[in-house]
C-alpha cells in the first residue's frame, strides 16, 4: 500500500490552521504545520488531532518550529507573512512579506526538493514570482492561489442575487489578486446560462466591483485580521486537484511566457491542475476591453516584481 501524501503548511495563523483543518477532514494527506512562534503550531496540531476521533479522520497532524519535520512533502502551502490591516493595501505588505517568503522557500527547497508550491501570502502574484525565482523549480510546480478564491466570492454574490444554489454558478476571475483583478461576467454562468442573460448590466457591474474588493470588505468588518475560511479552502481545492490528479480547470496565478500576450510574469488565468501540477494553461478568447483589463492587471503585478527586482 502506498503511504499517505504529505502536505506542509507554513504559517499556523488563521489561513494555515484552517487549511490544515480542511485537509484533515477530507483525509487528503498527513499535515505538518510550521510556524516561527513556539507552541502555536504544536498547540493547533494537537487540538486538531483531538478532533479526529470525533469526526473520524485518520491523518497525522504535526506542529513544528523547524523544517526537518516537513521533509519529503508532496505539496507546500505558503501562508506565512503579515496579514493586511485596515487601510493597508496588499502592496504595503510587499517588502515585509518578500523577506519572510524568501526564507521559507529556501527551507522548503532544502527539505522537499520535489514538492509543488502553492503560494497564499500577499501580495499574491509577486510572492508567487518570488517563490518561483528563489526555488529554481520548474514553472509547473509553483502556483499562486487567487482566482479560486476570487471566483468563489463572485459565485456567492451571483447565487445570492438570483437566489439559486451556489453549485449552479460558475464564475471566472482572471488577472492579479487585487483591485485590478478581471472578473469575466461573459464566461460566468448559472446552470449553463450566461449571467449576462439573468442579471442587468448595472447590477452585474456592482457584483464585479464587490468581488474585486472582497478581501478589503472582510478586513474592514473583522478589524483585526483578514479572511481565512474561503482562502484556505481555495488552496485546499488546488491541493486536492494535484494529489488526486483531477485534471481540474481552476483559475490560478501561474508563470506566463507569451500566453495572453503576457511574458515572464505570474498572473491569474485558467489552468488544468493534475498530478504534474500546472499541466496546461488554457487560453480563452477575450474582447479588446477584457484583454486591456488583463494587461492593466499584469502591469500592476509587474510594478511589484520590478520593486523586488525579480
Yes or no: say if 121 and 100 are a contact pair by the CB < 8 Å rule: yes
State the Cα–Cα distance between residues 82 and 303, nearest whole angstrom: 20
Yes or no: say if 10 and 16 are a contact pair by the CB < 8 Å rule: yes
Q: 198 φ, ψ to 5°?
A: -110, -25
User: Does the annotation mark 177 as catalytic?
Assistant: yes
Select from 77, 136, 144 the least CA-distant residue to 109. Answer: 136
State the Cα–Cα distance between residues 30 and 162, nearest whole angstrom: 39
The one catalytic residue in 21, 156, 177, 295 is 177
Strands in 89-141 per DSSP E = 116-119
State the Cα–Cα distance between residues 149 and 21, nearest whole angstrom: 17
Yes or no: say if 303 and 269 are a contact pair by the CB < 8 Å rule: no
* 139 alpha carbon, distance to own chain's centre: 16
Q: Which grid coordinates are listed for 270?
A: 485558467
Q: Residue 241: how many CA atoms within 13 Å on its side-chain side?
A: 25
* 284 alpha carbon, distance to own chain's centre: 21
State the Cα–Cα distance between residues 191 and 208, nearest whole angstrom: 19
Sequence-distant (6+) residues with CB within 8 A of 218 are 226, 227
State the Cα–Cα distance between residues 164 and 171, nearest whole angstrom: 14
State the Cα–Cα distance between residues 9 and 76, nearest whole angstrom: 6
Q: What is the number of other CB atoms lying within 10 angstroms of the CB of residue 280?
A: 14
Active site residues: 177
Amino acid at each position: 500500500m502506498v503511504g499517505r501524501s504529505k502536505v506542509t503548511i507554513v504559517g499556523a495563523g488563521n489561513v494555515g490552521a484552517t487549511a490544515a483543518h480542511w485537509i484533515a477532514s477530507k483525509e487528503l494527506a498527513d499535515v505538518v504545520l510550521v510556524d516561527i512562534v513556539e507552541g502555536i503550531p504544536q498547540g493547533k496540531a494537537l487540538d486538531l488531532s483531538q478532533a479526529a476521533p470525533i469526526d473520524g479522520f485518520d491523518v497525522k497532524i504535526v506542529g513544528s518550529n523547524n523544517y526537518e519535520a516537513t521533509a519529503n512533502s508532496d505539496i507546500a502551502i505558503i501562508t506565512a507573512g503579515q496579514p493586511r490591516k485596515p487601510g493597508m493595501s496588499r502592496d504595503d505588505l510587499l517588502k515585509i512579506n518578500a523577506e519572510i517568503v524568501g526564507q521559507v522557500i529556501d527551507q522548503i527547497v532544502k527539505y522537499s526538493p520535489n514538492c509543488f508550491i502553492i503560494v497564499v501570502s500577499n501580495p499574491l502574484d509577486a510572492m508567487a514570482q518570488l517563490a518561483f525565482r528563489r526555488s529554481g523549480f520548474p514553472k509547473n510546480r509553483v502556483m499562486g492561489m487567487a482566482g479560486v478564491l476570487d471566483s468563489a466570492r463572485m459565485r456567492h454574490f451571483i447565487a445570492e442575487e438570483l437566489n439559486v444554489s451556489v453549485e449552479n454558478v460558475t464564475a471566472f476571475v482572471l488577472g492579479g489578486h487585487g483591485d485590478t483583478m478581471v472578473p469575466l461576467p461573459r464566461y460566468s454562468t448559472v446552470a449553463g446560462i450566461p449571467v449576462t442573460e439573468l442579471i442587468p448590466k448595472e447590477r452585474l457591474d456592482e457584483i464585479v466591483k464587490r468581488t474585486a474588493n472582497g478581501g478589503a470588505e472582510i478586513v474592514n468588518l473583522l478589524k483585526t485580521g483578514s479572511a481565512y475560511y474561503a482562502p484556505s479552502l481555495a488552496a485546499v481545492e488546488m491541493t486536492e486537484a494535484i494529489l488526486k490528479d483531477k485534471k481540474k480547470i481552476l483559475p490560478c496565478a501561474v508563470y506566463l511566457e507569451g500566453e495572453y500576450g503576457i511574458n515572464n510574469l505570474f498572473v491569474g488565468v485558467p489552468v488544468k491542475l493534475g498530478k504534474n501540477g500546472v499541466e496546461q494553461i488554457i487560453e480563452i478568447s477575450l474582447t479588446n476591453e477584457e484583454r486591456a483589463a488583463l494587461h492593466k492587471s499584469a502591469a500592476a503585478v509587474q510594478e511589484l516584481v520590478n520593486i523586488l527586482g525579480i
